[in-house]
């Protein structure tokens, strides 16, 4: 195996025997095989679309295949093999779709090679052997391309994986854009080229960033159409007595269905990790048994889940190897899977409810403490004029966006120390699970505006960008001239997609940490520094001095 798609890759270069995330070699090579399959499907789908033919099931499968290989999603070789076999049938369907479209147009179909002609052989063991061969071929191609081009090619693929997560969540809620699907096929087809130029690769990377903006916009529309615009909401972070279910991940549809199925059953529902922002949505807030948030970010789950006296439901990525102490009361649903963990199909959460009722639950109320979430796009835009007035009056000197993916690697305390050191006349926007580094601290207010504004999940970077664009328009300037600095933490592929989106928007001087991606070579970093001012974080003191000039 070889995997360097997350920030915690082994030895700073890549995992070659077992993933730091817990992914074993079989899982890794099957994920590579699934991506190979997705590329083959997209090669046919791209050609078919150019002739006016498309297939919804093919489009959705490619998105699902990409999302399945995001870090901390699917660790189950058997489920991956099932997806590969499903993809085999769909690739044949995509081939027929293309050939039929050619026949209607009076054209001869192209003879597509590479991933388009690959076919699986035999049982799980044989698929694993094929996966090893695909992984080896990809590494050989990387050596041929050289570190620079291979790294940008992987940057594009990882960005596509991140964007696919957002498209998947939106599609589940019934919001889609056929051009978004078409562009996924185009970029995956581009990634099958054996000798792309650096200019072509960099162009495709920025197109991936643009595609992710549209993907985040789809999810914003899906979430707000289904559940209303988030509103600022205090969320209890201490438990109350009673039976309990903890839900983690990102999928709001899963939370809604769980709330419906547990209503009136005497079970309290707690959010964990990236599910925290759900408390700000009016249509979810109305469930009185959605009582609070428990725990913190994903990397702490083994300790936090061990202490949680109820059932646990994982809805998307972020799962870690469960401890035996809670393995019989943790469940997965959707694309997330771990061998030996019970998987819920079709959102029938009866087994989760049964497990919760069998546990003791919390025996007493703890003293109430709350944190504030729910500063979504509507709330931010609604506050834009007041923020602008406070900026003009000198009451708000600077706005910091400090957020992104959290992780376990040392060095992430930087974000806590930076937030603490931000002067009292500055505002902090935050989003994603990186907020847990400081979201339980009291930052106070500036003339009624909280100094810490929790924008939401990682995909809600769209909301923060919308606010920045609006402020720039009102000031008659561009985003890079605003008193705004972005200090981002990254861990997995959704953070890569968001970074590419910011680069597409030509947002400059982004600080990134705790370490730079291993797939960004020194030469490519030089390009990013020269064109966009990308820079690694240093120390909170040095970075604040550079940003504020004092």
CA atoms of 6 and 158, how far apart (whole Å): 9
Identical fold, 10-226 and 375-548: no
Looking at residue 435, its pLDDT comes to 97
Residues in CB range of 31: below 8 A, 6 or more apart: 23, 68, 69, 74, 80
Length of the chain equals: 550
Dihedral of the CA atoms 266, 272, 274, 275 (nearest 10)? 0
Whole-prediction pTM value?
0.97
Dihedral of the CA atoms 317, 320, 324, 328 (nearest 10)? 0
First to last CA, the chain: 48
Domain 233-358 listed as CATH 3.40.1400.10: no
Class of domain 10-226: mainly alpha
List the chain domain ranges: 10-226, 233-358, 375-548
Burial class (CB in 10 A: 0-12, 13-18, 19+), 95: buried
**DSSP of 314-333:** E-SS---PPPTTTGGGEEEE
DSSP 8-state code for residue 410: T
Dihedral of the CA atoms 350, 354, 356, 358 (nearest 10)? 180
Chain centre distance of CA 143: 29
CB atoms within 10 A of CB 109: 17
Class of domain 375-548: alpha beta
Radius of gyration in angstroms for the set of CA atoms belonging to the chain, rounded to a whole number: 23
CA atoms of 12 and 20, how far apart (whole Å): 11
Indicate if the alpha-carbon torsion angle 167, 168, 174, 178 is positive or negative: positive
Q: In what order do the strands lie in the sheet with 311-314?
A: 290-293, 267-272, 243-248, 311-314, 330-333, 342-344
Chain centre distance of CA 145: 28
CA atoms of 414 and 408, how far apart (whole Å): 13
From residue 136, alpha-carbon distances to 101, 139, 416 in Å are: 35, 5, 41
- Using an 8 Å Cβ cutoff, are 307 and 8 in contact? no
Per-residue confidence of the chain (550 residues) as pLDDT tens digits? Answer: 999 999 989 888 999 999 999 999 999 999 999 999 999 999 999 999 999 999 999 999 999 999 999 999 999 999 999 999 999 999 999 999 999 999 999 999 999 999 999 999 889 999 999 999 999 999 999 999 999 999 999 999 999 999 999 999 999 999 999 999 999 999 999 999 999 999 999 999 999 999 999 999 999 999 999 999 999 999 999 999 999 999 999 999 999 999 999 999 999 999 999 999 999 999 999 999 999 999 999 999 999 999 999 999 999 999 999 999 999 999 999 999 999 999 999 999 999 999 999 999 999 999 999 999 999 999 998 999 999 999 999 999 999 999 999 998 778 999 999 999 999 999 999 999 999 999 999 999 999 999 999 999 999 999 999 899 999 999 899 999 999 999 999 999 999 999 999 999 999 999 999 999 999 999 999 999 999 999 999 999 999 999 999 6
For 126, the token pair is 């044989």
């Amino acid at each position: 195996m070889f995997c360097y798609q997350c920030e915690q890759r082994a030895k700073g270069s890549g995992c070659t025997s077992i993933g730091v995330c817990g992914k074993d070699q079989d899982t890794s090579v099957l994920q590579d095989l699934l991506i190979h399959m997705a590329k083959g499907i997209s090669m046919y789908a791209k050609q078919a679309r150019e002739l006016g033919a498309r297939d919804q099931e093919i489009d959705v499968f490619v998105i699902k295949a990409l999302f399945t290989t995001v870090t901390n999603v699917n660790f189950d070789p058997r489920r991956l093999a099932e997806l590969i076999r499903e993809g085999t049938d769909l690739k044949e369907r995509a081939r027929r779709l293309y050939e039929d479209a050619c026949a209607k147009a009076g054209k001869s179909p192209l003879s597509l090679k590479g991933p388009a002609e690959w076919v699986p052989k035999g049982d799980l063991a044989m698929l694993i052997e094929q996966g090893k061969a695909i992984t080896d071929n990809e590494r050989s191609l990387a050596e041929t391309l050289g570190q620079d081009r291979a790294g940008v090619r992987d940057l594009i693929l990882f960005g596509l994986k991140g964007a696919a997560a957002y498209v998947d969540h939106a599609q589940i809620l019934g919001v889609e854009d056929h051009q978004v699907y078409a562009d996924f096929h185009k970029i995956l087809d581009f990634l099958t080229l054996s000798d792309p130029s650096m200019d072509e690769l960099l162009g495709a990377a920025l197109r991936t960033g643009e595609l992710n903006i549209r993907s985040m916009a789809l999810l914003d529309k899906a979430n707000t159409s289904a559940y209303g615009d988030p509103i600022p909401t205090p969320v209890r972070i201490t438990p109350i007595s009673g039976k309990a279910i903890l839900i983690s991940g990102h999928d709001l549809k899963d939370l809604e269905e769980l709330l419906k199925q547990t209503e009136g059953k005497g079970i309290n529902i707690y959010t964990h990790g990236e599910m925290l922002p759900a408390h700000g949505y009016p249509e979810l807030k109305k469930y009185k048994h959605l009582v609070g948030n428990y725990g913190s970010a994903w990397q702490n789950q083994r300790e936090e889940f061990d202490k949680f006296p109820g059932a646990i439901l994982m809805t998307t990525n972020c799962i870690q190897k469960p401890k035996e102490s809670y393995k019989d009361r943790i469940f997965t649903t959707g694309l997330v899977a771990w061998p030996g963990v019970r998987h819920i199909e079709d959102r029938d959460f009866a087994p989760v409810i049964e497990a919760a009722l069998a546990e003791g639950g919390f025996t007493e109320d703890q003293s109430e403490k709350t944190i504030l979430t729910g500063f979504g796009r509507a709330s931010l835009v609604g506050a834009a004029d007041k923020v602008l007035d406070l900026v003009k009056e000198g009451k708000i000197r600077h706005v910091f966006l400090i957020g992104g993916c959290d992780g376990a690697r040392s060095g992430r305390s930087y974000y806590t120390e930076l937030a603490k050191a931000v002067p009292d006349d500055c505002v902090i926007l935050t989003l994603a699970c990186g907020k847990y580094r400081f979201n339980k601290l009291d930052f106070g207010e500036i003339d009624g505006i909280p100094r810490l504004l929790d924008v939401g999940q990682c995909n809600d970077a769209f909301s923060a960008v919308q606010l920045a664009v609006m402020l720039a328009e009102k000031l008659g300037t561009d985003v890079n001239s605003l008193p705004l600095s972005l200090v981002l933490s990254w861990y997995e592929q959704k953070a890569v997609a968001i970074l590419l989106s910011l680069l597409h928007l030509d947002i400059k001087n982004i600080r990134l940490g705790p370490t730079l991606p291993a797939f960004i070579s020194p030469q490519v970093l030089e390009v990013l520094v020269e064109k966009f001012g990308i820079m690694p974080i240093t120390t909170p003191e040095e970075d604040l001095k550079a940003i504020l000039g004092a």
